[in-house]
Amino acid sequence: MAQLIADRRDIDFVLHEQLEIEKISKHERFEEFNKKTIDLIVSEARNLANKELLPAREQGDKEGCIFEGGKVTVPESFHHAYNLLVEGEWIAMTEDPEWGGQGMPRTIALAAGDYFNGANFPLMMYPGLTHGAGLLVHEFGSEKQKKLFLKKMFTGEWTGTMLLTEPEAGSDVGLLTSTAAKNADGTYSITGNKIFISGGEHNLTKNIIHPVLARIEGAPAGTKGISLFIVPKIWVNDDGSLGEFNDVVCTGIEEKMGIHGNSTCSLTLGGKGKCRGLLLGEENKGMRAMFLMMNEARLLVGLQGLGCASSAYLYAVNYAKERIQGKNLLQMLDKDAPPVPIIQHPDIRRQLLTMKAYIEGMRSLLYYVGYCNDMVHIAENEEEKAKYQGFIDLLIPVAKGYVTDRALEVCNYGIQIYGGYGYIKEYPMEQLFRDCRITTIYEGTNGIQAMDLLGRKLGMNSGKTMMDLFAEIQKVYQRAKGVSSLKELAAKAEDALNTLGKVAMHMGKTAMSPDVMKAFSFAYPFMEAAGDVIMSWMLLWRASIAAEMLGKDAPKKDVPFYEGQLKSADFFVNMVLPVTLGKMNAILSNSGAVVEISEASFGG
């Protein structure tokens, strides 16, 4: 079981050899996180994930959540696992110990989360959303609000959610109709209906703290008039004790394709006129505040996708080594040749190597975003801080959108390798695929991530952020060119990067022209192309390190791992990037078919 969630050797490689994360302990903020401490944290996370979280995954899927009389009961197996997360102080790993956190670097927290989400991400949605909601209180709450809510949330005694979506206001949040009327005591009476609320009602904790978007009476229309409120399920008195039920009623839960162990709720606020909330931050600044949680949430969704994909890959590798079927192709004419493990068949190896390359690239990307977050905190000057923050903002749409698309593809390959067994519930693949599917939809569909990349991120700082990122990528390509076995691969990857630069300029100009609709019809292919180039960056970075280690007579036990890094980069650059170049040429062709076809021509 130990290797069926995430490969410890790969995690150690990214942390210590690629990012050299232990160097972060030279800074006062993270001085206690030396290599020994980091390795201990990852080991503890791995043990908890394997021994407690993973067994609850299948049980949680089978039991699901039960809705009865406005109450939701989560799978029994989740209670013990959640309590262990609370006891281990895993809910708010990166936050200040004063409020119940561990003060951990984000990169290390992502490594722990890699194991946790790979083991059981439907369970991890409860603490994940709680941490995100707590961040809102930490960043925008008054001192009184922090004292009332923050430690209870960061320690996991209470959970949190995010109440945005309404029946007529899904991705277009500005259409929401929930209202807030100010009361004489400074609280607000909240009225509205919210849907698709993950963890909106459950029996894991005594209280649930809901950050709620609503419009104060008389506020402007659209997103400019939205405010953010703290709405507890059970009212919290000024002394911190629990008061009366706060008229937040669960009216039902969704029967979903996957993530059965997580309650996806419809909530009615103020149906009896007794729902109260506290303004969080300033009036009409709710969307601005919520975007703080968005980066956190979207990175978490990328990690969820990686977790499913990583687990699917490791199951598939083990299965391919054990499943005996068919002769080796080199012995097909030998009637006495024995059947062999399917890992010897070229097409199975192609699928496994595709899975391997994507997982390695995705893990490096997500950890790199975490690393940038850590560098923002310890940057020596504002310019350096702004650079790393820019990288985070630019990469988040790729870390969520591209990563979850590829993660679902990896899970699909896993089903294919298992054959018919992959399609049935007796084996883990079908659940991994079902659970992974939601990651491409929530926290902003992947189409929205592509629009965000084109519409908001591409031109950030007049394009400087994109150019700074290209410069970082070029550093890796120059390093790879210094390795004879990687020189040709680096040249091909550099060609793709240069082409991406041309495409980015084309997209930027088109988006600012009367052809704006045409530009956005290519937003998704552009995100895919950008993601492929970023994968080649990460894989060549990894391959450069591996080649250098092999040149230094690496320990015998590490040789297969390092050789595997070279093959991942070789495969991706030679097999995937040519397709990427084709996509980019298609974008430059500027076809108007998508926007020019009439609605009638779609039929239906």
Give burial (CB, 10 Å; 0-12/13-18/19+) of 135.
buried
Identity of the amino acid at 194: K
Question: Which tokens hold the place of 302?
Answer: 């990328």
From 448, 431, 587, select the one nearest 519 (Cα to Cα).
Answer: 587
| Separation between Cα atoms, residue 197 and residue 193, nearest integer Å | 11
| Separation between Cα atoms, residue 53 and residue 549, nearest integer Å | 35
| Separation between Cα atoms, residue 92 and residue 31, nearest integer Å | 19
| Residue that has been written with the tokens 């041309």 in this structure | 502
Question: Which tokens hold the place of 59?
Answer: 């049980």
Identity of the amino acid at 416: Q
Answer for the pair 348, 342: CB distance below 8 angstroms, yes or no. yes
Residue 443 annotated among the catalytic residues of the structure = yes
Answer for the pair 178, 193: CB distance below 8 angstroms, yes or no. yes
From 529, 539, 533, 532, select the one nearest 568 (Cα to Cα).
Answer: 539
Q: Which of 166, 296, 443, 494 is catalytic?
A: 443
Residue 238 backbone class (left: φ over 0; alpha: ψ -120 to 50; beta: rest)? alpha
From 361, 393, 362, 398, select the one nearest 376 (Cα to Cα).
Answer: 393
DSSP reduced 3-state for 20:
coil
Q: What is the largest CA-CA distance in the chain?
A: 89
Size of the chain, expressed as the number of residues it contains? 604
From 246, 250, 251, select the one nearest 233 (Cα to Cα).
Answer: 246
User: Could you give the dihedral angle defined by the CA atoms of residues 398, 400, 401 and 402, in that order, rounded to the nearest 10 degrees?
Assistant: 60
DSSP reduced 3-state for 279:
strand
Burial profile 489-499: b = 16 or more Cβ within 10 angstroms, e = fewer: bbebbbebbeb
Identity of the amino acid at 367: Y
From 524, 391, 507, 516, select the one nearest 445 (Cα to Cα).
Answer: 524
DSSP reduced 3-state for 268:
strand
Strands 188-198 and 264-269 come out as antiparallel
Active-site residue numbers? 443
